Amino acid sequence: MRAPYRLVRSVLAVALLAGAAVVSGGCAAEEKPPLVVLGPWTDGEELPFKATLAKIGERTGREYVYEGTRSLRETLVAQLRTDAPPDVAILNGQGELAQYAIDGDAQPLPPKVTGKAIGPWAPRLVVRDPEGNTEERAYWVPVRVDLKSIVWSRAGEERAGAEDAVWCLGMASGATSGWPGTDWIEDLLLQREGHYVYEQWASGALEWTDKRVRRAWLDWAEVLATDAEENAVTALSTSFESLGDGEFGLLNRGDCTREHQGSFIRRHYGLDVMPAPTSDFVEGLPSDRNVFEVSGDMAAVFKPSDAAWELILELTSSKAQADWVEQADPGERPYFPSGTAKMTGPNAPTAGSGAVLRMFRDAGQICLDASDAMPSTLRGAFQRAVLEFLEKPQDRDVLDGLLAQLEAERLLQKRADAFVLDDLCDVPPGRSSEG
């Protein structure tokens, strides 16, 4: 009698285990796996964004894992090579994003998301699919934006020609050193020649040896000539923001009075530092252009799923934007493509941020950061050329040699059809083309 009892008990145990496995398998099937978001914010700057993701998770019932890195391109390329991309990546280079779209890594936006591709940050691309068909589609959306073409200073330094003015210069920025200098060249070309010429140049249609491009470099050389001779060379090894020992902001150094930098830099300053258009500080530039260079952090889906597209919609929603603003310190509150912000109340922008918002809204044209739209090899060559130029900014032979090298790279990229973005300027969102 004992053997049958043991047999029944064993069979019952197996049945229970099998049932538990079925139940467990069913629960696992119902679980929502976390979505991985790769982005550029680190060292505390990512905290408001992570808090915003947590708020989104409360609404969607999903978990989001944020991975921040200052080496975005290298990290994403490594992940793609191992067939382990993030669900969503937030990048700041439209030229790089365009290449991911052409390679089939970044996914085209579905109809329900296409309306979030706001210009000029998210231009449409014509990409050929595996069957050889072509279609104009959008591949990314801007989730956060910044204004360039501005100079930061304290009271008394608002206009060109101020006595004892010294420019703050810092070109060092890890693997991408030199970009604060490319910002200078881009801005000076845009301010002097206007957005049509700027767009031609940034999209590869204008030669680097063109006299208008050369003039932008000469304009910068004139700006540098007003400083101490060693300032340009010292900038090669000077961080664009860090002063060391936990201190940040070149204007806080005490030996310079003006800083040409994007609106993100305001996080390092108090209410006494204010922005104004570059043309207010550089003599000889037209004062009525009302054009501004802009940059942005764009979200693209690399592992398509309903959950990934849901996250894109959430990140661009007014609710998520309000959460992000609420979580951030006053000097770090982000700007958004829509330009929406409450000018009063507990989360109202600071005086400096409010000035940036007004420049955004009142601009006649806004244009994408030119080097962000260029093929990555040309972008890198441009950054290196800036560093070489700063060693001898008054040497015209050095400049001509650098421009010839950049023109050779442009031709290489032109023959390779690497320029895929040509619609880089637009009126600010919310304004009509006549406004």
Give how far Cα 270 sits from Cα of 180, 239, 252, 336, 410, Å: 22, 20, 10, 22, 42
The count of domains in the chain is: 2
* Per-residue model confidence (pLDDT) at position 60: 96
* Per-residue model confidence (pLDDT) at position 131: 76
Average pLDDT, rounded, for the chain: 88
Verify that 266 and 386 share a domain, yes or no: yes
The answer as to whether 10 is a domain residue is no
The enclosing domain of 201 has a CATH number of 3.40.190.10
Average pLDDT on 114-135 reads: 88
The answer as to whether 8 is a domain residue is no
Judging by DSSP bridges, how do beta strands 125-128 and 134-137 pair with one another?
antiparallel
Verify that 159 and 271 share a domain, yes or no: yes
Verify that 267 and 379 share a domain, yes or no: yes
Lookup result for tokens 């050889």: 132
For 178-237, what is each residue's pLDDT tens digit? 999 999 999 999 999 999 999 999 999 999 999 999 999 999 999 988 766 688 899 999
- 3-class secondary-structure state, position 150: strand
* Chain length of the chain: 435
The answer as to whether 111 is a domain residue is yes
The letter for the amino acid at 45 is E
Verify that 162 and 123 share a domain, yes or no: no
For 125-137, what is each residue's pLDDT tens digit? 988 877 777 889 9
Verify that 247 and 101 share a domain, yes or no: no
Min mean pLDDT across 240-244, 272-276, 285-289, 410-414 is at 285-289
The answer as to whether 391 is a domain residue is yes
* Per-residue model confidence (pLDDT) at position 429: 87
The answer as to whether 20 is a domain residue is no
For 314-352, what is each residue's pLDDT tens digit? 999 999 999 999 999 988 899 999 765 555 567 778 889
Verify that 386 and 244 share a domain, yes or no: yes
**Contact status, residue 147 vs residue 356, Cβ threshold 8 Å:** yes
For 282-314, what is each residue's pLDDT tens digit? 989 998 899 999 999 999 999 999 999 999 999
Residue 9 has pLDDT above 60, yes or no: no
E strand segments, 184-290: 242-244, 247-248, 258-260, 273-277
* Per-residue model confidence (pLDDT) at position 6: 39
**Contact status, residue 312 vs residue 88, Cβ threshold 8 Å:** yes
Average pLDDT on 401-426 reads: 95
- Which tokens belong to 355? 């000035």
Domain span holding position 65: 35-145+295-358
Min mean pLDDT across 123-132, 139-148, 169-178, 403-412 is at 123-132
* Per-residue model confidence (pLDDT) at position 13: 42
**Contact status, residue 267 vs residue 344, Cβ threshold 8 Å:** no
Verify that 153 and 141 share a domain, yes or no: no
Verify that 128 and 152 share a domain, yes or no: no
Verify that 237 and 203 share a domain, yes or no: yes
The residue among 173 and 155 whose pLDDT is bigger is 173
For 10-23, what is each residue's pLDDT tens digit? 433 434 344 444 44
The residue among 24 and 179 whose pLDDT is bigger is 179
* Per-residue model confidence (pLDDT) at position 341: 54
Residue 388 has pLDDT above 50, yes or no: yes
Residue 378 has pLDDT above 70, yes or no: yes
Residue 387 has pLDDT above 60, yes or no: yes
Lookup result for tokens 């340009």: 232
Verify that 191 and 233 share a domain, yes or no: yes
Identify the domain boundary among 358, 382, 406: 358
For 256-290, what is each residue's pLDDT tens digit? 999 999 999 999 999 999 999 999 999 899 988 99
Verify that 198 and 312 share a domain, yes or no: no
Rounded distance between C-alpha atoms, residue 121 and residue 365, angstroms? 13
